[in-house]
Structure 1
Amino acid sequence: MSKHTRRIDHWQDPDAPKPTSRKASASVFVRNDEGAVLLLRRTDNDLWTIPTGGIKKGETVAQCAVRECEEETGLKVEIIGLVGIFSSPEHVIVYMHGDDVNEVRQPINVCLRARVVGGVVKPDPKEAQEVRWVAPGDLGDYSVHPALQRRIEIGLGDQEPYIE
């Protein structure tokens, strides 16, 4: 997708377009020593999210999560666990370039837990407008898509990995 691509996420929307593809992605749920959650504000839809991206050929889910976190936030992380696997058909993503729909995707996401092991916060201007550590009690002040909010809420819990 080019830097001019716009993203529109649908959640539990009966009028959402039908998916034309499925693609695996990895996201990373990172907390600091104070318990704050690492969030970034996307450039393509202006919503807050956790670091997330598509898995490339030749890389593992964990490698993708580590790479995406560093690319989007500047922080190096190590994987320490699994939040869950998210594949609900209720989440559909439309990618548009100008007025043309490029793709309608039903994502499959593996969300991993991680901790920071290096780097400095430096958002990639192509993907993230800004990066912040957000206290759990302040998450309601941020515009987060419901599908990503589920990952964050499950990540904040201490339950077994979530699988759908």
Structure 2
Amino acid sequence: MGRTEYYRDPEAPRANTLIPASNLLVTDDRGALLLQRRRDTGQWALPGGAQDIGETAAECAVRECEEETGVRAEVTGFLGVYSDPEHIVAYTDGEIRQQYEAVYTGRPVSGEPRPTAEADAVRWVLPAELDGLDIHPSMRRQIDDHLSGTGPHPG
């Protein structure tokens, strides 16, 4: 299913669903971050996705990380909730999503980064390499907040 992201775009379509999602910001012993290049947008992102009924937000983050990257990780902390009604994701099936994300921090437990059905590339990225990657501004904000130790801003 294809998707188009709108960020602070006055021409964005109006959302018709609100979906809770979780991301897992996994770092290794070197401080490198686990990132995936999404097949649907071509942008680099933290592993994450929509929460399923019957699971907690943290369980969602762990499940999505393993599904999207091949790496099993455990939650070590909570970065915050990121909510921006000006970030709209329109899918080709007609769903237009306003999403908010609970962002957890974690560490790898097992597995190796590998391409998956949702990611055509998965790798460990050192903070110094981030500027060379195409990362959506909303995702980059989460990464930068983690690296600076500030957490999300109210709103």
Question: Which TM-score applies when normalising by structure 1?
Answer: 0.90
Which structure 1 segments of 5+ residues have no match? none
Distance 1:44 1:62 in 2: 24
Q: What's the counterpart of residue 126 of structure 2?
A: 135
CA-based RMSD of the aligned residues comes to 1.3
Q: What's the counterpart of residue 51 of structure 1?
A: 47
SS at match of 1:56: coil
Q: What's the counterpart of residue 31 of structure 2?
A: 35
Aligned partner of 1:156: which letter?
Answer: L
Aligned partner of 1:66: which letter?
Answer: V
Distance 1:141 1:161 in 2: 23
Count residues in correspondence. Answer: 155
Pairing partner for 1:147 from 130, 138, 150: 138
Aligned partner of 2:150: which letter?
Answer: Q
Q: Which moved more, 1:33-42 or 1:154-163?
A: 154-163
Distance 1:28 1:162 in 2: 18
Pairing partner for 2:92 from 89, 96, 113: 96
SS at match of 2:89: strand
Q: Is the 8 A contact 2:82 2:152 kept in 1?
A: no
After superposition, the Cα gap between the structure-2 partners of 1:163 and 1:113, relative to the gap in structure 1 and judged at 3 Å, is: farther
Q: Deviations over 1:124-152 (max 9, x none)?
A: 1x200010111111101110111111111
- Post-superposition offset of 1:160: 4.9
Sequence identity, in percent?
39
- Post-superposition offset of 1:163: 4.8
SS at match of 2:4: strand
Tell me, yes or no, if structure 1 residue 6 matches structure 2 residue 9. Answer: no
- Post-superposition offset of 1:22: 0.4
Which structure 2 segments of 5+ residues have no match? none
- Post-superposition offset of 1:159: 2.9
